[in-house]
Structures are given as structure tokens and as C-alpha cells.
Amino acid sequence: MSAAQKRAWLLAGALCGAVLVLDQAIKAVVEGELVPGEQVDLLGPIGLTLSHNEGVAFGLAGGSVLPLIAFAVLALGFVGFLLARNSTMPGIWVAVGLVAGGALGNLVDRLRAGEVTDYIEINYPWPPFNLADVAITVGVAVFALIFLREDRG
């Protein structure tokens, strides 16, 4: 493994760890300070609320916990595969770190409680979500940008 490949793995791992720790820390604070359904205004249309869901990102597609755990494990394997195959692509470690950290953050919730803790609410008809959901969404967008740029190059 080259120095550039090792660097990509280390950076992806560090970002993944940071997302996981921050996500779990915020969830712990919200769980300790809010009761389900309570709303706290933060900034403009953004607020906090304590909510739990059994679905995937943004509370969509609720269902059995085991298939969602399996899906998270498969997603982690897939982003690891992408990093292994493309570790020298500029920015790939960002996408991998965000998706992996977000997937692990929600996976920890599912393994611990059978559901995911959500806490970010926007004043718009959209379900509450959490930092892990944001990391996954941004990570997938970064993947798309990287691979679209690669196809054009």
C-alpha cells in the first residue's frame, strides 16, 4: 500500500470516528435534556426535538431492525470497497468518512435501542433527522461529485 493510500484510509477513519463520536454525543445530550415531542427553537427555521424512528435516513421506510442493520453493514462494506479501489482519487476519503461515520452512528442506535434518535427539525414538512443522516447525505453527494468529475476527466 502506497503512502497516499495509507493517508486516504487514515483520513477516512479519522473523519468517520469524528462523525460517530459527535453524533453519539449530541444524541446523548438531547436524550438527557428533552422529552419526546418537545421543541426548542435554535436559529430561524431550525430547531431541536427528540424523536425516535425505526426507519432509514430521515425516518423513511420504517420496518424491521434486522434488515436495516444488514443494510448498514453492507453499506459500510461497499464504501470500504470503493475506498480500497479508488484510494488515490482526490476527496474520496471525505465521502467514505462521512458515509461510514453516519452509518455507524445510526447503527449504534439500532443495536443499542432498536431505533434511531433524531433531533434536528426544520420548519418545513420534513421528518426530524440527526447528524448521522446529514453525514450520509453529504457523503453520498460528495461521492456523486467525485465520480461525475472522474467520468468527465
- H or E, element range at 54: none
Q: What is the dihedral of CA 11, 100, 124, 30, to 10 degrees?
A: -90
Pairing of strands 39-43, 116-122: unpaired
Does the active-site annotation cover 118?
yes
Query: So what's the pLDDT on residue 57?
Result: 54
Does the active-site annotation cover 133?
yes
Distance in angstroms (rounded) separating the CA atoms of residues 4 and 88:
6
Query: So what's the pLDDT on residue 125?
Result: 83
Please give the model's pTM, rounded to 2 decimal places.
0.88
Structural domain total, the chain: 1
Query: So what's the pLDDT on residue 67?
Result: 79
Average pLDDT, 10 consecutive residues per value, the chain (153 residues): 92 98 97 90 91 68 72 91 91 96 95 92 89 96 90 62
Q: Which domain holds residue 46?
A: 3-152
Query: So what's the pLDDT on residue 107?
Result: 93
Angle subtended by helix axes 3-33 and 65-86, to nearest 10 = 150
Catalytic residue chosen out of the listed positions 41, 109, 133, 151: 133
Query: So what's the pLDDT on residue 55?
Result: 67
